A and B are shown apart, each in its own frame.
Chain A
């Protein structure tokens, strides 16, 4: 089975917000971080990251600033705004609730007939 998973809609936004939780990063670092933390399981076409970043910035969830990268190049650094942080916690909560619910269903045992009939 192919372990590279396609992104569910909206997932990328949460991952970006999460990636920035520890501090400002430039776009390339965000890709590397997401890839690293998912053990290369999440397939990310690198370019698609940028429209997502710009969209989040335009919504006011991210703020951007120019700075110098580790390799001494000028790079655009993104950081979470307080609004973005709030959004992230909310999304995490939703995700966890969703995952728990799905996991519960998937791990369920066959119910007795009488229970179904109710």
Chain B
């Protein structure tokens, strides 16, 4: 073969052309053949034809050739690409292995930032973005009156109203509801051994059908079972079935002994699926074990008792449903037996999307949380950008050499991008593990009063989000240093002898800008966290009206059935008196008392009593929250009382007596003492014997309206919670208390002995949760910022070693040098704080609604957080400053 001629080297200059190559090759063959034939004596024309004949099917072969050519070309391209990428990747791993400290720190920072982001995204996703765990859940609506101060009774409807609304509406496919006044551990399960407390809930027969919940086993309630006199049946929640019946697959059809007040056998008709968690959707922080049908006919005269949930017809909007509800509301009776109650629900039937009801109140908090982790990610990205820059300054020579050897600028950028991508991917892997652990822990926090927590998981959306933030982070901290490095003047760097010299002031300025933005971001986070913390402290400081510490409660079982209500009241009084006497005799017990409802839990109202001898405009009298209590209850709760407490002598033979709270007293007898006055309920006169402090009822953060207390010996309580105040740790009493209750009543179940503090904790748990999370993120943010400050200052000290040496040789004291470095640090911190505070002030309206008793411009918080940042800046600047002050001028000048 003759060596390749010059021209051939440029033949492929404009890229490969496989088709032309095939053409050239075949033409060569035919021409050579033709020449040979001519040499053998053929006529030129004939020779050409003969050559083509001997060649065969020219066009097919040409096609085959082109196909092969294209295939090879493609393969070559991808081979080149992948071999380059592999090379870069291998190089990256080698570099990171060499710089192990840098790699470990970056992956750690990224894992924290990415992990926090994935975890919070999963929470946001479960609570806000994902639909509720029901089929076509967008058609489910919550029907309730507008929010008011009067508790659960104002948020519910009567049985008659439910029936009429269900029959009269045109926009709902069906409407259902559940009994709103259920309490925890309201039933007992008896089998072998001690009775076990069980939480049961009465639901309207069609409840599960409307929600679209299919049983995991067995069936749902039939229409007959929802009517009075229907066969007693029960549906088990999946968790209860597993826990209590060891997931018995033959449970359906069995009868179990499940009782409230009177013992009875009920048949298990089905087990609900694990995906259905009533508490998670309707009552965060609680669990329901069993469901029984609510007999509406029995409940006709009970007033407002059901909470309504409806399923809209397809394509009906909430607005249309509202119009429909407003249309029929005037025709709905509170109780059909009393014509004057028609229209009482006017304007009080308001459908909202169930999803909004469940999570709407959390939207703001979650968005703040989401922003907080977003800031963390930004800070982490900026931090790494800074580290990367510091490293790339040290690597300037390496890049200069690569550039001199012909590596393009894009190749340098690509190299840095691959490095950042590898780091952030490693961070993401760790971060996902971190987030998964966190979410697993969170989803088992049953006492945290947040909805849908049990559905928390890392799903495909979260995975997608992870990929997104990994790419974003990698771009954030790979691109900037990459661009910067690709712009350096290679010759300058190579001429300079010192390592990494020649990057100059712009480099320093860029790094300073990054640190300032880090401090600003951390400042925003800290101020947010500070405001939330202050709010939380304010919430803890709220006067609850009772003293939750060193007191506990236990649900008391008693049997007071008697032929007449007088006999029942007497029997009940005797039981209560005996229980309280025996419990009070326990060492360490200071007081004991009984109430049917405790604060910060469910509550109820009866009617609107009127002060005797006064006239109020119709509709202006409140319906107070009602509590039926025993003597001693107020002392046990630590509720302040003016006047006298109930006594055991306040029975049905004596005068009717009540206690009211201060709010009620102010409404009924403004400016006068309420003690000794009379409240009229219909024809019944109740003598007010005392006034007690307002007790926080619905939640810790909002004030309570009117409250009224009746003695348990004159009114029928809806159960009994025994409250014990003790000088000992409450938990140490649990056994002896239960022992006494068992001795008095063998049917007393082993109910939970709950310190009152836990009731308050549960009520403030969402606020605590958000405060802790934002606080943790803020700490992380300031830690990262500290790292950033330290990095930059330390680097600049190293860079200026020589300069410092000269200054010291010229007589600058080491104190002076140290002061300069620290001042430089403070300058950065001050600019960062200035920017961060401005951003915080400008965006304060976003957080205002989440604060309690705290201004979004709270001076104390701002000052405290600024001082914190300055302190952190001082600390991170101190180490490099000390190093600078110890520079030996002679040694520094000898270098180079």
Contact = CB atoms under 8 A, between A and B. Distances in A.
Contacts of B414: none
Interface stretch (B19-27, B282-290, B396-404): B19-27
A74 B24 contact: yes
B652 to A, nearest CB: 105
Interface in B679-708: none
B68 A46 contact: no
A47 B8 contact: no
Contact of B1 (A24, A31, A47, A51): A24
B743 interface: no
A47 B334 CA distance: 98
From B2, B32, B65, B71, residue with most partner A Cβ within 10 Å: B32
A77 B384 CA distance: 54
A34 to B, nearest CB: 14
A54 B68 contact: yes
Interface string A35-52: 000000000011110110
Given A67-B8, A68-B4, A71-B35, 9 more contacts: A45-B56, A46-B54, A47-B57, A47-B58, A57-B68, A57-B72, A65-B4, A74-B8, A75-B28
A68 B31 CA distance: 14
B101 interface: no
B29 A27 contact: yes
A69 B28 contact: yes
Contacts of B11: 66
Nearest to B66: A54
A51 B28 contact: no
Contact of B25 (A24, A27, A71): A27
A28 B28 contact: yes
A55 interface: yes
B61 interface: yes
B5 interface: yes
Q: How large is the interface on B (under 10, 10 to 19, 20 to 34, 35 or more residues)?
A: 20 to 34
B777 to A, nearest CB: 56
A67 B29 contact: no
B81 interface: no
A65 B2 CA distance: 11
A85 interface: no
8 closest Cβ pairs, A-B complex: A47-B56, A54-B68, A68-B2, A45-B56, A47-B55, A67-B1, A76-B25, A51-B64
Contacts of B21: 76
Interface of B: 1-5, 8, 11, 21, 24-26, 28-29, 31-33, 35, 54-58, 61, 64-65, 68-69, 71-72
A73 B65 CA distance: 20
A112 interface: no
A99 B25 CA distance: 35
Interface in A1-34: 23-24, 26-28, 31
B75 to A, nearest CB: 8
Given A54-B65, A77-B1, A66 B56 contact: no
A50 B65 contact: yes
A28 B29 contact: yes
Determine chain B's interface SS by DSSP, over half rule. Answer: helix
Contacts of B8: 66-67, 74
A42 to B, nearest CB: 14
A58 interface: yes
Contacts of B29: 27-28, 31, 46, 50
10 contacts: A31-B29, A45-B56, A46-B54, A50-B64, A54-B69, A58-B72, A67-B4, A68-B2, A69-B2, A76-B28
Contact of A46 (B1, B5, B24, B56): B56
B25 A58 contact: no
A50 B25 contact: yes
B35 A48 contact: no
Contacts of A65: 1, 4
A75 B3 contact: no
Interface string A79-100: 0000000000000000000000
A48 B260 CA distance: 94
Given A27-B29, A66-B8, A66-B11, A76 B24 contact: yes
Contact of A67 (B3, B64, B65, B71): B3
A50 B61 contact: yes
Nearest to A68: B2
A23 B2 CA distance: 12
A46 B33 contact: yes
B28 A73 contact: yes
B28 A26 contact: yes
A31 B33 CA distance: 10
A23 B4 CA distance: 16
Nearest to B11: A66
Contacts of A50: 25-26, 29, 61, 64-65
A57 B75 CA distance: 13
Nearest to A54: B68
A67 B24 CA distance: 12
B67 to A, nearest CB: 9
Nearest to B4: A67
Given A51-B64, A67-B1, A58 B32 contact: no
